[in-house]
C-alpha cells in the first residue's frame, strides 16, 4: 500500500520505518526541511535501539522517504496516518496540531475528487476522531463524512522496545467509522498475525488510555504500599511484593513452571513513573472525565502518589543523615527509565532539584540522557556536575542514588562503599549486597 504518515516524530518515524520493512511504500511528511533531509540521509533524530538500521534498510529498499510536500504525498497515497504530537497544556490535552492537520487535509480534499481515509495514530482523548477531526475535515473540505473515511489506530510502543512492539505486536486495534477505512486498515496490517480488535474510533481511543492507566495504577499502588512498609519499619516491601507476585492470578503456574508476566515489573516499588506518556495521558483523561462530570478519583490518586514519590528518596536520606548541606551525592540515571534518552517527567529531575535545594553537591551520570537532562533542568549553578564515568566518581560521594535501573549500575555492589549511603530507588539490589555502606531504599526502613 501507499501510505502517508503526517509527523516524523517518535511514533510517525517508527511506524513509517516498520511499515516500510513489511513492504508498504511510506512517505513521511514533516514541516521541518532540516529533519526531512536528515531522515533521507538515514539519520534518525531520536534515540531508539535499532532505528538507524531499520531506517537505513527502509531507505535502501526505496520504500521510505521523508518529504515536506504534503499534497504530492497525499496524491499518491491510499491511506493517511496522522502521528502529530498531542502535548499536555496544564493537564489538558492540546489538540491544536490535530486540528491544524485535519483542516489541512480538508483543504486538500476540497481540491481533489477522491476518497481518502484519515487514520489518527496520535493519542487523543475519546471522541476526538468522530467529532473534532470529522468536523474540521468536513468544514475545510466542504464535503461531509463518509465522502472521506475516518479511523483510529493507537500505538502501544514502549520507548526502548518500540521496534519489536511494532513488528511483533500483542494486538492491533483497528478503530473505524466506515467500512472502506476498515478495509484499508485490514490491508495495512495484513502482514501481521496478531489479535486484531475492530471497534469504533472512540473505543479505540479509550483502549489506549485504559492500557496506560492500568499500568500506571500498578506502579502507584505498589509505591504507596512501599511507603507504608517503610513507615512501619522492620518490613522490606520486596518480601511483600515477591509473595504477591506468586499469586497464580498474577503469575500462572503452567506445566513448565511459572510464566512471570511482564506486568509484574510494574509491580516493583520505585521513585515513580515518568516519560512522555503515562503522566500526560493520565492528566488528559482526568481532565476529560471531570469535564463530563466524572470526578476520576483513581486517576487523581495515581498521579498524586506519583508526584510525591521522588520526595521519598531525599526525605529518607535526610531522615538518616540529618542536615545534608555540603554533602555530595552521585545520582546514577537521569532518563525516566533505562534504554532511552528521554528525561520527560523523569523522577531524577525532582530528585536532583530537591538535593540542590538542600545544599547538596550533585554529581550526575547517565549513559545517554545527560544532554537532554541538562536542557530540561536549566542552569542550576555550580553545585551540579555531569560525568562520563560514574565508577571514577563513587569515591567523591557521600551518597549514591540509583535513580534509573540501567544494567551497568549493577556493578555498584562490587565497589568500595565504606562509609557511604547507597539509596536504591529502583530496587535493583538485594540489601545483603551492601555489607560495607549503608543501604537505603524505597519500602524498607529496618529500624
Ligand atoms: C508506555 C506504555 O508502556 C506503552 O504501551 C505505550 O504505547 C506508551 O506508553 C505510549 O503511550 O506511547 P513508555 O512510556 O515507553 O510506554 O514506558 P513504559 O516502559 O511503560 O514505562 C512507563 C513507566 O513505568 C516508567 O516510568 C517506568 O519506569 C515504569 N516501568 C516500566 C516500571 O515500573 N516497570 C517496568 O517494567 C517498565
Q: Considering the domain boundaries, does residue 204 fall inside one?
A: no
Question: Exposed, middle or buried, 84 (CB in 10 Å: 0-12/13-18/19+)?
Answer: buried
Q: Considering the domain boundaries, does residue 290 fall inside one?
A: yes
CA of 337 to the centre of ligand 1 (A): 8
Residues 49 and 92 reside in one and the same domain? yes
Atom of ligand 1 nearest to the CA of 216: 24
Angstrom distance (rounded) from CA 176 to CA 188? 13
Residues 146 and 220 reside in one and the same domain? no
CA distances (Å), origin 208, targets 1, 125, 174, 306: 25, 9, 12, 20
Q: For ligand 1, atom 13, which residue shows the shortest CA distance?
A: 158
CA of 203 to the centre of ligand 1 (A): 21
Give the pLDDT confidence score for residue 342 in this predicted structure.
93
pTM surpassing 0.75? Answer: yes
Q: Mean pLDDT of all residues in the chain?
A: 96
Atom of ligand 1 nearest to the CA of 345: 26
In this prediction, what percent of the chain has a pLDDT beyond 90?
Answer: 94
Give the pLDDT confidence score for residue 437 in this predicted structure.
84
CA of 96 to the centre of ligand 1 (A): 25
CA 249 from chain centre, in angstroms, equals: 27
Q: Considering the domain boundaries, does residue 206 fall inside one?
A: no
Q: For ligand 1, atom 5, which residue shows the shortest CA distance?
A: 156
Task: List, for residues 43-83, the tens digit of each pLDDT value.
Answer: 999 889 899 999 999 999 999 999 999 999 999 999 999 99
Give the pLDDT confidence score for residue 399 in this predicted structure.
98
State the CATH number of the domain containing residue 16: 3.40.50.720
Q: Catalytic site residue 271?
A: no
Task: List, for residues 402-411, the tens digit of each pLDDT value.
Answer: 999 999 999 9
Residues 277 and 381 reside in one and the same domain? yes
Cβ-based neighbour number of residue 406 at 10 Å: 23
Residues 117, 123, 127: CA angle, nearest 5 degrees: 70
Give the pLDDT confidence score for residue 6 in this predicted structure.
98
Q: Considering the domain boundaries, does residue 115 fall inside one?
A: yes
Q: For ligand 1, atom 20, which residue shows the shortest CA distance?
A: 158
Atom of ligand 1 nearest to the CA of 155: 7
8 Å CB contact between 333 and 348: yes
Q: Considering the domain boundaries, does residue 169 fall inside one?
A: yes
All three cell numbers of 225: 504500599
Q: For ligand 1, atom 3, which residue shows the shortest CA distance?
A: 158
Residue 385 has pLDDT above 90, yes or no: yes
331: left (phi over 0), alpha (psi -120 to 50) or beta: beta
Q: Which of 88, 123, 212 to mutate to test the pocket of ligand 1 (most atoms within 8 A of CB)?
A: 212
CA of 10 to the centre of ligand 1 (A): 15
What angle do helix axes 134-141 and 96-110 make, rounded to 10 degrees?
Answer: 30
Residues 194 and 220 reside in one and the same domain? no
Angstrom distance (rounded) from CA 330 to CA 400? 5
CA of 61 to the centre of ligand 1 (A): 32
8 Å CB contact between 166 and 133: no
Give the pLDDT mean for 291-319: 96
Give the pLDDT confidence score for residue 381 in this predicted structure.
77
Atom of ligand 1 nearest to the CA of 272: 26
CA nearest neighbour of 105 among 147, 71, 152, 149: 71
SS3 417: coil
Angstrom distance (rounded) from CA 363 to CA 438? 19
SS3 68: coil
Count of structural domains, the chain: 2
CA of 128 to the centre of ligand 1 (A): 24
Give the pLDDT confidence score for residue 436 in this predicted structure.
83
Last residue within a domain, chosen from 146, 172, 198: 198
Residue 447 has pLDDT above 80, yes or no: no
Angstrom distance (rounded) from CA 69 to CA 76? 11
Last residue within a domain, chosen from 198, 233, 251: 198
Last residue within a domain, chosen from 198, 219, 252: 198
pLDDT interval class at 445 (50, 70, 90): confident
Q: For ligand 1, atom 29, which residue shows the shortest CA distance?
A: 273
Q: For ligand 1, atom 37, which residue shows the shortest CA distance?
A: 266
Give the pLDDT confidence score for residue 12 in this predicted structure.
98
Residues 121 and 227 reside in one and the same domain? no
Q: Considering the domain boundaries, does residue 205 fall inside one?
A: no
Q: For ligand 1, atom 19, which residue shows the shortest CA distance?
A: 158
Task: List, for residues 316-361, the tens digit of each pLDDT value.
Answer: 999 999 999 999 999 999 999 999 999 999 999 999 999 999 999 9
Cis peptide before 299 (omega within 30 of 0): no
* Ligand 1 surroundings by CB, under 6 angstroms: 123, 155-159, 212, 215, 219, 265-266, 270, 273-275, 277-278, 281, 336-337
Q: Tell me the Cα Rg of the chain.
A: 24
Residues 345 and 313 reside in one and the same domain? yes
Q: Considering the domain boundaries, does residue 288 fall inside one?
A: yes
- At residue 24, what are phi and psi to the nearest 5 degrees? -80, 155
Listed in sequence order, the residues at least 6 apart from 293 whose beta carbon sits closer than 8 Å to its beta carbon are none
Residue 379 has pLDDT above 90, yes or no: no
Q: For ligand 1, atom 33, which residue shows the shortest CA distance?
A: 266
Give the pLDDT mean for 32-36: 98
- List, in sequence order, the alpha helices (H) in 326-406: 347-357, 370-377
Residues 285 and 359 reside in one and the same domain? yes
Q: Which of 51, 271, 275, 303 to mutate to test the pocket of ligand 1 (most atoms within 8 A of CB)?
A: 275
Atom of ligand 1 nearest to the CA of 405: 28
CA of 130 to the centre of ligand 1 (A): 28
CA of 187 to the centre of ligand 1 (A): 29
Listed in sequence order, the residues at least 6 apart from 384 whose beta carbon sits closer than 8 Å to its beta carbon are 352, 356, 361, 362, 364, 377
Domain limits for position 345: 211-441
Residue tagged active-site, from 18, 28, 271, 277: 277
Give the pLDDT mean for 415-423: 94
CA nearest neighbour of 351 among 330, 372, 378, 320: 330
Residues 369 and 414 reside in one and the same domain? yes
Amino acid at each position: 500500500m501507499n501510505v502517508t504518515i503526517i509527523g516524523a516524530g517518535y511514533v510517525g518515524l517508527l511506524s513509517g520505518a516498520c511499515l516500510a520493512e513489511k513492504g508498504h511504500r511510506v512517505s513521511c511528511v514533516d514541516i521541518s526541511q532540516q529533519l526531512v533531509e536528515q531522515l533521507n540521509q538515514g539519520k534518525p533524530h531520536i534515540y531508539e535501539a535499532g532505528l538507524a538500521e531499520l531506517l537505513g534498510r527502509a531507505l535502501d529498499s526505496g520504500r521510505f522517504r521523508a518529504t515536506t510536500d504534503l499534497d504530492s504525498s497525499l496524491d499518491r497515497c491510499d491511506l493517511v496516518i496522522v502521528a502529530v504530537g498531542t502535548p499536555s497544556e496544564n493537564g489538558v490535552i492540546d489538540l491544536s496540531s490535530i486540528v491544524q492537520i485535519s483542516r489541512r487535509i480538508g483543504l486538500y480534499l476540497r481540491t481533489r475528487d477522491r476518497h481518502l481515509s484519515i487514520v489518527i495514530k496520535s493519542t487523543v482523548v475519546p471522541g476526538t476522531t468522530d467529532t473534532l477531526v470529522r468536523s474540521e475535515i468536513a468544514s475545510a473540505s466542504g464535503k461531509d463524512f463518509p465522502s472521506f473515511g475516518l479511523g483510529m489506530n493507537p500505538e502501544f510502543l514502549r520507548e526502548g522496545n518500540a521496534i519489536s512492539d511494532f513488528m511483533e505486536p500483542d494486538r492491533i486495534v483497528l478503530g473505524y467509522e466506515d467500512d472502506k477505512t476498515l478495509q484499508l486498515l485490514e490491508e495495512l496490517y495484513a502482514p501481521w498475525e496478531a489479535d486484531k480488535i475492530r471497534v469504533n474510533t472512540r473505543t479505540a481511543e479509550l483502549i489506549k488510555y485504559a492500557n496506560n492507566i492500568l499500568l500506571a495504577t500498578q506502579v502507584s499502588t505498589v509505591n504507596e504500599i512501599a511507603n507504608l512498609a517503610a513507615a512501619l519499619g522492620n518490613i522490606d516491601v520486596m518480601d511483600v511484593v515477591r509473595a504477591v507476585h506468586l499469586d497464580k492470578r498474577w503469575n500462572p503456574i503452567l506445566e513448565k513452571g511459572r510464566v512471570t508476566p511482564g506486568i509484574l515489573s510494574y509491580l516493583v516499588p520505585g521513585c515513580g513513573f515518568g516519560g512522555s506518556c503515562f503522566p500526560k495521558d493520565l492528566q488528559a483523561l482526568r481532565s476529560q472525565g471531570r469535564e463530563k462530570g466524572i470526578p476520576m478519583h483513581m486517576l487523581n490518586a495515581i498521579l498524586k502518589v506519583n508526584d510525591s514519590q521522588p520526595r521519598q528518596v531525599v526525605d529518607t536520606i535526610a531522615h538518616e543523615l540529618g542536615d545534608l548541606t555540603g554533602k555530595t551525592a552521585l545520582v546514577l540515571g537521569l532518563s525516566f527509565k533505562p534504554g532511552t534518552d528521554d528525561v520527560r517527567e523523569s523522577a531524577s529531575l525532582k530528585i536532583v532539584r530537591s538535593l540542590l535545594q538542600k545544599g547538596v553537591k550533585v554529581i550526575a551520570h547517565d549513559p545517554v540522557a545527560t544532554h537532554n537532562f541538562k536542557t530540561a533542568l536549566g542552569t542550576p549553578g555550580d553545585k551540579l556536575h555531569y560525568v562520563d564515568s560514574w565508577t571514577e566518581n563513587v569515591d567523591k560521594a557521600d551518597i549514591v542514588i540509583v535513580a534509573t535501573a540501567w544494567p551497568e549500575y549493577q556493578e555498584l555492589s562490587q565497589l568500595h562503599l565504606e562509609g557511604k549511603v547507597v539509596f536504591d530507588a529502583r530496587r535493583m539490589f538485594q540489601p545483603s549486597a551492601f555489607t560495607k555502606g549503608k543501604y537505603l531504599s524505597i519500602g524498607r526502613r529496618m529500624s
